[in-house]
Structure 1
């Protein structure tokens, strides 16, 4: 076991009294927000590249404003809009500028629909005239300025509308929208969740055309959830949810001509999924990415509006699957930047406007993790990668020709950048296992730090008064691979004693839990458990991310096989350490992690004494098409892959203590998974514990919910490990 250490929050060099060091973390503190970090609000870089805007709220006066700041001085320059001066608008929660930054959309009374989608009342504020205009009298979705800022397109009741801000008139573009049947301009549930976008319409460069995707959900099976609420009778929420192997929405692409008022359907061959559309810099050319159902055949189409003709300019195939990103970037000459795993690692490529490869820009046995953009003035591409180790992240720049690569971040850990619009500055967000988030202004030319914006030194000082442990990073050799691992031991660790081991994992395809970054609430929970005598560990096994495509895609068609084998083997190997009690090993996880922990206590019943599964998938036949089939193909094609690795089919193997937790309003991993697992356990006459949280979604939060859940899990660990 190769080992290296990154000292955690306790070893930050702070000195405190012995009495203060005896203080231990409590669940009430964790879920009461005692250890929250200071951050930066999402900022908008102004077009001049020298200034940025931030949404601010004065907690005393309750005044909300959009304020402009100078990058160089970080000083406030002016207030763009404030509720102090807005008649009838008491608050707003987000803002979005028009392209010329003369107008801004303000969102009020926003409510969530699903994970990414929102409904709200929106206003346009004219910065020069200092006047507001309501976009619609009812809640709408995804309002978006036209390029000239004179119109706003939006979706209401599954139809697309365009409001003319000059005349105040609103035109209806589609008229066939109907709940649970036809959707225009926004995505259905499964696209939103798995392709991670909501707005399915795009303005072209000169605002003469609007492209949009139409979803026909008529053949998609409907799912229903009871919402209990506080009324005498519960209500049912019904929505279309395609489970693995079932029918998806039929998608089609249209281009609406504002002058003629007509929509033209785009002819796309093999368009089972249309996960992205984007206009090129040429207002007459629309790009569309098209996937087959297996998601291993991707075609990039260019649609020429004037000729009503679509052509394939790029084609990729993979033996397993192809991930969709937002990295497609068109340059001034309509050549484009593209990221791909075609050489075995995720890298940046430059293609001509005809789809011919010009060059591979980055290369090496490491992954590009984020693409930030291209600066046409300097000819440089900015990106984030794991070149400095798969648990770290750094910011880099490289010329379009692949030369003069430069590392712009310095500190080892996790660095991410937010660039000014002209790429002259970037705000670097940095953290590590020992350093909480720190935000600095940096020069983009060489990465030089110009000044600190935000730090969390006060949190470090506060944590110096607690009894905390170091987080040890290492690798452990399992099943032929060196897997990344972290471990937290009690602060008074004695190598001559035996400790119970509590393992955490997620293990989903392409995921990562072992990373050199500041932890969240769960890390404080692990610290609390460590001080109560447990060793806590986490290992990223086969199928996780940032070690190349082969490592990630090894679990293809066998979700829950190799990942489970790795976690069982890790537990066995760690159990051989003299300081770990091999008879007291437990494991827990949430969502995919709950699927894993369930499998581990069943298939590894001679290794794990207890397991906790929160919101788990218990049978992949219950989960959605896009995610599940990407990794498993359909149940009709791969029945054994589904059934051999689903916990629900192995309940007879249960020996240890098992806690099953779910929220009844989980629209993602339905409570059906847990209910069917319970019935299988009952019929196998297996004793277990379970907890159901009424009207809670996949996150299981709200009020005291998280405190209650973690109290239950902590007590379960103490009683059974």
Structure 2
């Protein structure tokens, strides 16, 4: 029986995601470097309290500290300060301005509507979210030169990009909001014209090359454009429209001359990192380039001559995946890789190898997942080691792996007291009966193996991020899984074929096949296999639950696999690729592939609905427009199908200021649909989103 106490526990677990330090203390250490990286300080949040610690890795010491001497003076969140702190850059109108003390001056003067400086594409401008926090826009997309004399920026050209509209319903008269938002297959898409601005002289140097296709976000925000450490050059990555060719280019910041350094083409997308929004795995050295490639079927490092572009050799090899270049010292590169831990190919290990491909060794020779941060001087690394069921221990290590000082051991006692059960990591076979796929399972609170439990599959199909992290739950998984377990559901999450983190072939299973939604057949196969050894899983009562891409997948699950999924909750779902984000769809379904776009339409198969469906969308969602849900609803009405729908006035993509209300409505729907019960009248108080969490998003 679902009770008020169950809802209160679910509410508490939902809040742990939005309020760091509430239920888990010491699980996240974010170093704030000082003295050029020789020392750092960090804070630990414990409810409303904060504890500050100063660390000296060379001395192997840590001690409580007052952070006041290390904190800059409070600044304008819409400014980007220079490394020396003397100058800041901001957006004014369609141009960039500089400020030093009370003096302000224009860095550009020719900005115009849809052709201005310092902004990313409107499709990922988060304008609705910015408005809720009193900000007119994101900070400018710029990168300062190391000596604080120049700024790398871009002029964003969205002239000709499709103009779309959202309608704000209140509180007074309706207001029309416009947005440049290209659809898959459109002729025009956002472009970025790179420029280097001399802050003192006002000189504007433009890249002598074609503007970059800006498929998703600003190349500067995405770290696809960066300064050489000595400021002598700007390096940037460029994709072709079909994303099957990737180039590394060098721009002279004085003349604007551009030359191609490395180029690679392939039959599907060529990626500098399987994780779309992670930094590219490319490192420019004195005379060489370390370049990530999946040409041998896995993700490895290759060496190229910086001056001639000649391939010098393959550095790493094997059935595993390089995840991040950490540090290069002399003839040795240190990096993280996944696929080297037998029991879980997603866990990351710290490794080293010589640039000639010899001397490979594990620096962290254990079975844990390692999340690593390195200071600019590269003298050591901060390591957070965990698994999905092992809370993190954070240490400082040298490059042999020796622990210099232990920082934190996460305290999960409050989380356990709230009824939390550690999730179970599992491995089953995909629908092909051959491929291993991995996921996690949460048992319901108060678990009794003699009972029978309804099951919720919390879906996210990628293919740009994983559904399940290999380390201790960072929050994204727990946002829905942990509260649902508190309500008495068995909760599962699976990374099926087509998602990322494995081989090139595993990831490419989604290329041109977004309609498969991260291989829903694999989810069905996983549920059957799990239930074989867990008779308490009732496969006659299974629901899909997902947000955004997961909203698309959840609706698709109940439409295409009604024999498996009896209900679905679809939040902020994109339901028709033909009317969705051009960059995302073309990245994973290919450019100029209208047949694939049409195959992924939930709207066109709405008449297949047999189970129960809840559609939820924000009225002002500028990432996935609300018409996706309304178009699906229209087709469901015409097919005479029964469904529920909630349109949240004023809400954006993540339901930031209506999170508790929306999630409670979703819980109510599942309690009625799967448990056959009337939910309690409990309604949680609104949840305030921590501003620091928002800063991490951008």
TM-score by length of structure 1 reads 0.78
Distance 1:153 1:446, change over 3 A: same
Matched, 1:70 2:56: yes
1:471-482 matches, cutoff 5 A: 471-479=424-432, 480-482=434-436
Report the count of equivalent residues. Answer: 631
* Equivalence for 2:96: 160
Between 414-423 and 584-593, report the one with greater CA deviation. Answer: 414-423
Distance 1:375 1:190, change over 3 A: farther
Check whether the contact 1:586–1:611 (CA below 8 A) recurs between aligned residues.
Answer: yes
* Equivalence for 1:107: 75
Check whether the contact 2:53–2:62 (CA below 8 A) recurs between aligned residues.
Answer: no
Deviations along 1:608-642, one digit per CA (max 9) or x if unpaired, are: 211111111100122111111111234xx322211
Check whether the contact 1:70–1:77 (CA below 8 A) recurs between aligned residues.
Answer: no
Distance 1:585 1:65 in 2: 44
* Equivalence for 1:322: 270
Match of 2:621 among 662, 666, 676: 666
Matched, 1:543 2:498: yes
Between 666-675 and 150-159, report the one with greater CA deviation. Answer: 150-159
* Cα distance, 1:74 vs structure 2: 1.4
1:227-626 matches, cutoff 5 A: 227-228=168-169, 231-246=171-186, 247-257=188-198, 261-269=202-210, 271-273=212-214, 275=219, 276-281=224-229, 283-305=231-253, 308-324=256-272, 325-331=279-285, 333-354=286-307, 355-376=309-330, 379-388=332-341, 389-440=344-395, 442-457=396-411, 459-460=412-413, 463=416, 466=419, 468=421, 471-479=424-432, 480-490=434-444, 498-519=452-473, 520=475, 523=478, 526=481, 529-530=484-485, 534-561=489-516, 563-571=519-527, 579-626=536-583
* Cα distance, 1:78 vs structure 2: 6.6
Distance 1:198 1:351, change over 3 A: farther
* Cα distance, 1:501 vs structure 2: 2.9
Deviations along 1:73-96, one digit per CA (max 9) or x if unpaired, are: 1125775548xxxxxxxxxxxx6x
Deviations along 1:235-261, one digit per CA (max 9) or x if unpaired, are: 443332222223213432233455764
Check whether the contact 1:510–1:552 (CA below 8 A) recurs between aligned residues.
Answer: no
Deviations along 1:171-205, one digit per CA (max 9) or x if unpaired, are: 31211224x52221332234668xxx975434445
* Cα distance, 1:68 vs structure 2: 5.6
Check whether the contact 2:162–2:180 (CA below 8 A) recurs between aligned residues.
Answer: yes
Distance 1:175 1:470 in 2: 56
Deviations along 1:491-526, one digit per CA (max 9) or x if unpaired, are: 776777654332222121143234432233754864
Distance 1:523 1:483 in 2: 20
Distance 1:66 1:492 in 2: 37
Matched, 1:145 2:113: no
Check whether the contact 1:369–1:386 (CA below 8 A) recurs between aligned residues.
Answer: no
* Equivalence for 2:119: 186
Distance 1:380 1:568, change over 3 A: closer
Query: 1:212 aligns to what SS in structure 2?
Result: strand
Check whether the contact 1:370–1:385 (CA below 8 A) recurs between aligned residues.
Answer: no
Check whether the contact 2:550–2:573 (CA below 8 A) recurs between aligned residues.
Answer: yes
Check whether the contact 1:286–1:303 (CA below 8 A) recurs between aligned residues.
Answer: yes
Distance 1:212 1:529, change over 3 A: closer
Distance 1:183 1:598, change over 3 A: same
Matched, 1:26 2:9: yes
TM-score by length of structure 2 reads 0.81
Distance 2:575 2:52 in 1: 46
Deviations along 1:266-288, one digit per CA (max 9) or x if unpaired, are: 22148434833223346443323
Check whether the contact 1:192–1:198 (CA below 8 A) recurs between aligned residues.
Answer: no
* Equivalence for 1:38: 26
Between 526-535 and 322-331, report the one with greater CA deviation. Answer: 526-535
Check whether the contact 1:595–1:616 (CA below 8 A) recurs between aligned residues.
Answer: yes
1:114-125 matches, cutoff 5 A: 120=77
Distance 1:352 1:200, change over 3 A: farther
* Cα distance, 1:657 vs structure 2: 0.7
Gaps in structure 2 of 5+ consecutive residues: 17-21, 127-137, 273-278, 675-698
Between 202-211 and 341-350, report the one with greater CA deviation. Answer: 202-211
Query: 1:451 aligns to what SS in structure 2?
Result: strand
* Cα distance, 1:680 vs structure 2: 1.0
Distance 1:436 1:56 in 2: 15
* Cα distance, 1:408 vs structure 2: 2.8
Deviations along 1:211-234, one digit per CA (max 9) or x if unpaired, are: 4311122212223333456x4334
Distance 1:416 1:365 in 2: 21
Query: 1:287 aligns to what SS in structure 2?
Result: strand
* Cα distance, 1:551 vs structure 2: 0.9
* Equivalence for 2:654: 699
Distance 2:44 2:409 in 1: 18
1:211-222 matches, cutoff 5 A: 211-222=152-163
Deviations along 1:584-605, one digit per CA (max 9) or x if unpaired, are: 2222211111111111111112
Check whether the contact 2:393–2:410 (CA below 8 A) recurs between aligned residues.
Answer: yes
Check whether the contact 1:340–1:348 (CA below 8 A) recurs between aligned residues.
Answer: yes
Between 150-159 and 267-276, report the one with greater CA deviation. Answer: 267-276
Q: CA RMSD in A?
A: 3.5
Distance 1:382 1:544 in 2: 22
Higher gyration radius (CA): 1
Check whether the contact 1:24–1:467 (CA below 8 A) recurs between aligned residues.
Answer: no
Between 343-352 and 526-535, report the one with greater CA deviation. Answer: 526-535
Deviations along 1:415-444, one digit per CA (max 9) or x if unpaired, are: 11122333333221122222223322x331
Distance 1:712 1:68, change over 3 A: same
* Equivalence for 2:688: none
Name the structure with the higher strand share: 1
* Cα distance, 1:296 vs structure 2: 1.4
Matched, 1:170 2:104: yes
Distance 2:143 2:614 in 1: 46
Deviations along 1:565-600, one digit per CA (max 9) or x if unpaired, are: 333444455566655444322222111111111111
Distance 1:254 1:683, change over 3 A: same
* Equivalence for 1:630: 587
Distance 1:151 1:631, change over 3 A: same
* Cα distance, 1:319 vs structure 2: 1.4
